[in-house]
Amino acid sequence: MAAAAACFRTSNSPRQNSTSTINYSQLLTVSSHHASTSRPRIATNSHFPFIVIASDISSSCACSYSNIFTQFKIRENQPRLVHPFPYNNSSSNNIWNWNDSESSLPKSKQAAASVNLRSSRPRFRAMADPLTNGAGSSRRLRHVSSVAAPPSKISRLNAVVLGDALASEEDDLVIPNPDFSAQAHVPSPGKYLEMYDRSIEDPAGFWSDIASQFYWKQKWGSPVYSENMDVGKGRINIEWFKGGITNICYNCLDANIAAGNGDKIAIYWEGNELGVDATLTYNQLLHNVCQLANYLKDIGVRKGDAVVIYLPMLMELPIAMLACARIGAVHSVVFAGFSSESLSQRIVDCKPKVVLTCNAVKRGPKVIHLKDIVDAALVDSAKNGTVVDVCLTYANEFALEKESTKWVEGRDIWWQDVLSKYTTSCDVEWVDAEDPLFLLYTSGSTGKPKGVLHTTGGYMVYTATTFKYAFDYKPSDVYWCTADCGWITGHSYVTYGPLLNGATVVVFEGAPNYPDSGRCWDIVDKYKVSIFYTAPTLVRSLMREGDEARLPDHPFFS
């Protein structure tokens, strides 16, 4: 699948010039048989913010590649993607050289370059820049093991900026300085290849070492993983850490509090309207999670039961996910923009004990009556044999007053009215690594959306690991991913991945262009965001605003 993402590493120092080439360095997405989408992160630079678009990855990629220098040129507010290319300056002196070759692609298409790796390496595609090469040409990367030093020039390739080195208008290749590389979790291509090779040659040992960094009530048995990918031999199946007993909520919250991070900010919440915000420390987040978990237990939700969550990007959304995980319930988050028909289908599929929602949400100036959508979905699901007895509703009075909310007596309950009655501690339900964690649906681009069940252990280890390495997360970072938790990116890189690493996360309820197109940068400035993870679609929409956008007083824009 294609991995498309834009990441910004902001800076506390002013930019040194107004025309710069920005570079992405040392991307790590560790190999795994546990399928996931590769996600990038930007290395720190003391002089420049980093703006990156991930390379397009072919469907044959095994989710394992690194050191892709994807350049993004900023000139007169007109960014464009230049050439992605990997470079290896490890002690083995292996490098990748560009070789020109003719392309058979239609001229209407961008020229695609294939990467020929050694047999143990995966493949990926890098999009050549038609503005530089012409649409009728492409470049092919060829592994060269006999070259002892990197070339000083690379034909038709723009210079890059790494560390304290400044870009020029020449074709110079700028190598990361030692201080720049040393601060990364993967400080060199050689280190990455060492990790990668071990993940292939000794996957059990590799993933066991990583998994051991988490809390397990009982360690898994042998083998670490088992798989059957041959339909002729039976049901397709992959199992990770089977027999291991753990809980992802405990690892997200209790473990971080035990490590001394209880007073650290877990969530900065920014509402749709200016000036509407809130924060939760790890201690406070745990208390809120436990209150909801205790309520769910009180109404009969048990391990393995389903809970449907139809919430916008309020703090209550990650709270609800974690509360379900704490008691072993399986959450099914439905994007709070889907119709009542889509919601009803998901309710019928999983037959939940309860639906969690809110009365309404504002997206920009528009009020969306979510409770009305839930009401219609519950009527429809009842006609199809699934009756839900409880609808716990958060009163989002910034969008709609309680008195204006339609109500079904005996079924509907106000969130704020009941949760405060419950204690702020809740025993953990320990689960097997292969017990289900959540159900999430595919996009439906190839047909009817399909529910995909994610289990606990493999998802926990992989999500935490990819967050740590792909974003090169450090404890001092403030991280913001603009994805909604209704999608897998939001599950993995808003809630679970960051919290498993003890990160501080920004959760934004509103629209990125409300009240104006400077809102994203207001949030970056307000919370001192150091890692900004968003989609190219949003970047392009902000680019279209050009100089008309209102920019805050932030070094990112100086």
pTM of the predicted model, to two decimals?
Answer: 0.73
Distance (Å, rounded) from C-alpha 152 to C-alpha 77?
29
Distance between the two ends of the chain, CA-based, in angstroms?
A: 37
Determine the average pLDDT of the residues in 299-311.
98
Distance (Å, rounded) from C-alpha 121 to C-alpha 505?
34
516 pLDDT more than 50:
yes
The contacts found for 421-424 with CB under 8 angstroms, 24 or more apart, are 422/290, 422/291, 422/292, 422/294, 422/295, 422/298, 423/290, 423/291, 423/294, 424/286, 424/287, 424/288, 424/290, 424/291
Distance (Å, rounded) from C-alpha 558 to C-alpha 551?
10
Beta strand spans in 311-435 (E): 330-333, 354-358, 361-363, 366-368, 390-394, 412-414, 431-432
Distance (Å, rounded) from C-alpha 354 to C-alpha 389?
7
pLDDT of residue 271: 97
339 pLDDT more than 50:
yes
pLDDT of residue 244: 98
pLDDT of residue 541: 86
Q: Indicate the pLDDT class of residue 297, thresholds 50, 70 and 90.
A: very high
Whether 499 contacts 486, CB under 8 Å: no
Per mean pLDDT, which range of 30-34, 228-232, 250-254, 403-407 is the poorest?
30-34
More confident residue, 401 or 83: 401
More confident residue, 343 or 124: 343
Distance (Å, rounded) from C-alpha 285 to C-alpha 269?
12
Query: In this structure, are strands 306-310 and 354-358 parallel, antiparallel, or unpaired?
Result: parallel
Give the number of residues written for the chain: 558
116 pLDDT more than 60:
no
Query: In 420-515, which ranges are continuous DSSP H helix?
Result: 456-470, 488-490, 497-500
User: Counting Cβ atoms within 10 Å, is residue 248 exposed (0-12), middle (13-18) or buried (19+)?
Assistant: buried
Q: Indicate the pLDDT class of residue 222, thresholds 50, 70 and 90.
A: confident
Per mean pLDDT, which range of 356-365, 445-454, 518-527 is the poorest?
445-454
Whether 332 contacts 352, CB under 8 Å: yes
For the chain, list the domains and their CATH numbers.
6-190+512-557 (no CATH), 247-441 (3.40.50.12780)
CB count within 10 Å of CB 369 equals 16
Distance (Å, rounded) from C-alpha 229 to C-alpha 297?
38
Distance (Å, rounded) from C-alpha 89 to C-alpha 148?
9
Whether 72 contacts 53, CB under 8 Å: yes
Query: In 66-212, which ranges are continuous DSSP H helix?
Result: 130-133, 178-182, 189-201, 203-211
Average pLDDT, the chain: 76
pLDDT of residue 120: 34
Q: Indicate the pLDDT class of residue 253, thresholds 50, 70 and 90.
A: very high
Structure tokens at 273: 């309207």
Helix-, strand-, coil-residue percentages of the chain, each rounded to 5 = 30, 25, 45
Question: 393-435, pLDDT tens digit by residue?
Answer: 999 999 999 999 999 999 999 999 999 999 999 999 999 999 9
pLDDT of residue 551: 54
pLDDT of residue 550: 57
CA dihedral sign, ordered 313, 315, 318, 321: negative
Name residue 126's beta-bridge partners.
113
Structure tokens at 382: 């009842």
112 pLDDT more than 70:
no
Rg of the chain, C-alpha, whole Å:
24
Beta strand spans in 14-74 (E): 20-22, 28-29, 50-53, 65-66, 68-74
The DSSP 8-state label assigned to residue 153 in this structure reads B
Whether 40 contacts 27, CB under 8 Å: yes
Whether 308 contacts 351, CB under 8 Å: no
- Short-list 430, 432, 496, 506, CA closest to 464: 496
pLDDT of residue 1: 37
CB count within 10 Å of CB 372 equals 14
Query: Nearest-5° angle of CA 228, CA 230, CA 235?
Result: 60
Distance (Å, rounded) from C-alpha 297 to C-alpha 238?
31
Query: In 217-339, which ranges are continuous DSSP H helix?
Result: 248-249, 255-256, 282-298, 316-326
160 pLDDT more than 60:
no
Whether 519 contacts 512, CB under 8 Å: yes
